[in-house]
A and B are shown apart, each in its own frame.
Chain A
């Protein structure tokens, strides 16, 4: 019996609004606890929530860009559960009338695409932050420190249908969603800061079965790596259980980053009944045609469309996907360089490979002001016209990141232009062959590889200014003579 896993993912994205969802407190990025608080986000008696319009716009924008149907007459619900960092002991959320329903998101794995069905997109307010000492969990903590800075920060929750079939798809989905949120400018999208948090519902069932297996929810996955590992672990655990005839219990499991395994948090019997009901402090939320059109008009180019444009320049889907998930300046640099060079492969490789690599190595976060995209085009052209070697090009690039200069100037200065004059090179080669008669003999008896050694000598003697291809060609010709 072959088992097929089915995965659904719930993602919370922290919005980048200036103020919180239901009060005017600033959304702050600080380690100082409890500095951005008011009666409302602290749940003081008598305080009331007033919705943040900007947050509703952001959520509507995300719903529109995933092709969701927009709920025109929406509602806020109270989700009731007790937890020390939830000040009101209920969370204002949305239940049966979320902002968006039935959307989809295109993801890319290698050279192919998939559409992930989205069930709903809705608003939720964030909780405060608990730090349990003595243990990582509230049940066994000796004390708990509470920081309410995050309390009431607006979140958008995106829930997929149970359509994901592998950890790879899950990771590609989160990567795509993150990029979408960044492109829409609704979130910083920083996983390490908890801007994106995800839970996965996983089940396994015999292949071809129309019914899903018992689902298990996995929490506490803090990175894409842990998402991938936790899903793989859980699929393996469930598959083995089914094969061994052990019943899978509907429960919530906790991913342990260090031990790399999931363990029971609470079983279904202990699961909460959230007693959702419409929040009487908040009137119904009507999203008018005008409002929706206004939000639509702010929609930037979406990642999917970007990829199509990139593929049109000659890139593969995989390359286009890498670029679409890069910073804005990298994408625009690519388009500029490609426009000049008409060489998609070289433009892509130089930008995503050498340029970003060197920047990372030298801890350069943004391109220096003097660095023009035209320099990259020039470098690519110089290589193409055999004016400089690939090695020299790297040296030039490195120099340009540190000194206000141009590729031609650097090549000139460092004497990096390649010697393309056949006569001059031939002269050099004759001399080298004479000095290395033994090597020539061995080549003649079949040790072809030694040609490389001779090319190296030519390069060395010419300080790298000889076009190595040309050197090799001439060497072989002379040896044959």
Chain B
């Protein structure tokens, strides 16, 4: 039996029955990491030695029957833009290559309270800006299904790690699809919760109004367990909200909409086929499925590439060499700041800072950023209308399967297009999930995305679980365990 292939609830049962020890699972996870890291480079830092003691503590809790949490002793990988006290948080940037966080992110605090173990910090596109995990100052991450291909991004390290079983699950962050797109590329479940349900305190901000932490897991239930552990109102995050869940039907009375604009040109036949496969199954199970038009989705990428860079241009201003991180000297303070930023940031980060600075400049604000805010409001309105008609919206997660490493690095616009289907949920603050549904001709996985109204995360997970059961994906990349 491959224990690292099991869902969390099953592992917990084995722990409780004393048929498996957390420390045994822990060492299996690190064996897997030893087997895959050289080829995949999912982790930037592995915590093995430091955490053996904690795994043993978990052993004794199960021995004495005092373990209370489902996550006790479960090794989880953490995207390296989430702070863990005493460890490096680099954001895959030269700027923070030597930066050690003096505090825990709220999600880390909560996972520690649940006695979760950490495998280490995973690779990402620098400051979470990218869709392939190729924009990392420390080298790219590869797709565990085929190492010629990218794992997606920006949470590509997290997805590759769960895919290669060098962690049981992982945390990622999702600003425009950074959890769901790599989950889809790696045959995993990726869940972006409703904006505000998971605290952003300690997540190094890319675009504050869009960023949301969420899980990348093998099953929907694993995502549910992690979401329950990390969500909740946080007095340290003014944008966090009380997780007052609304119940919507997930059984046969649920109404399903297929987003018209995400089944048109620009979406590969393979991706469309996955959606059709799911809707056919749902229909045959008695669900009502209809087409829903949300015209403004066609503007999603334009809106996103004004709002996200604008916010990032201010969020990343703090990296100046004055108080922490990289410092490149100069003759004056300003020269030092300029030299530091010139050398510390990679190309894509600089591109977005410039875009954002321009969009906010005097004389351009109204035309660009201001218009984008208006359009974002309209998008929220259009989604609200859509959810008056249906309970869930289905679309492809990504327009295509994973692409080859290097294929899109010279064409940023093409790279940006790979987030077409995922961006709307961030702009509207909605919960959205990617569920693995099929394998393409090139033997790469593909997923389908489901969205629902704000604060219906649990219903969305219940509904996704129904699809998961019907589809019976049950496949994993070979050669890593």
Contact = CB atoms under 8 A, between A and B. Distances in A.
Task: Report if A and B associate in a common complex.
Answer: yes
B238 A80 contact: no
B201 A78 contact: no
A48 B317 contact: no
B314 A277 contact: yes
A39 interface: yes
Contacts of A78: 314
Given A46-B205, A84-B322, A87-B323, A277 B91 contact: no
Given A144-B333, A280-B207, A281-B239, A80 B323 contact: no
**Residue of A42, A46, A49 ringed by the most chain B CB atoms within 10 A:** A46
Given A45-B99, A46-B203, A89 B239 contact: no
B220 interface: no
A323 to B, nearest CB: 44
26 contacts: A42-B323, A43-B323, A45-B89, A45-B91, A45-B101, A45-B204, A45-B205, A46-B89, A46-B200, A46-B201, A46-B202, A48-B237, A82-B337, A84-B333, A89-B314, A90-B317, A141-B333, A273-B361, A275-B357, A275-B360, A275-B365, A276-B360, A277-B365, A280-B208, A280-B209, A283-B239
B203 to A, nearest CB: 6
**Residue of B91, B318, B324, B332 ringed by the most chain A CB atoms within 10 A:** B318
Contacts of A281: 205, 208, 238-239
Contact of A45 (B83, B209, B313): B83
Contacts of B319: 45
Interface residues of A, number: 33
A138 interface: yes
Nearest to B210: A280
A44 B99 CA distance: 10
Interface string A262-305: 00000000000101110011110000000000000000000000
Nearest to A282: B238
Interface string A113-143: 0000000000000000000000000111100
A146 B336 CA distance: 15
Interface of A: 39, 42-51, 78, 80, 82, 84, 87-90, 138-141, 144, 146, 273, 275-277, 280-283
B236 interface: yes
Nearest to B103: A39
Contacts of B99: 45
Given A80-B317, A273-B361, A277-B314, A48 B323 contact: no
A131 to B, nearest CB: 12
A50 to B, nearest CB: 5
Interface residues of B, number: 46
B70 to A, nearest CB: 26
B311 interface: yes
Contacts of B203: 46
A76 to B, nearest CB: 9
Interface in B344-381: 357, 360-362, 365, 369
Given A45-B96, A88-B318, A89-B318, A138 B334 contact: yes
Contacts of B236: 48, 50
B271 to A, nearest CB: 31
Contacts of B239: 48, 280-283
Given A45-B318, A280-B208, A283-B239, A275 B333 contact: no
B235 interface: yes
B318 A87 contact: yes
B320 interface: yes
B102 interface: yes
A275 B311 CA distance: 11
A55 B204 CA distance: 27
Nearest to B83: A46
B103 A44 contact: yes
**Residue of B209, B314, B362 ringed by the most chain A CB atoms within 10 A:** B314
A192 B105 CA distance: 40
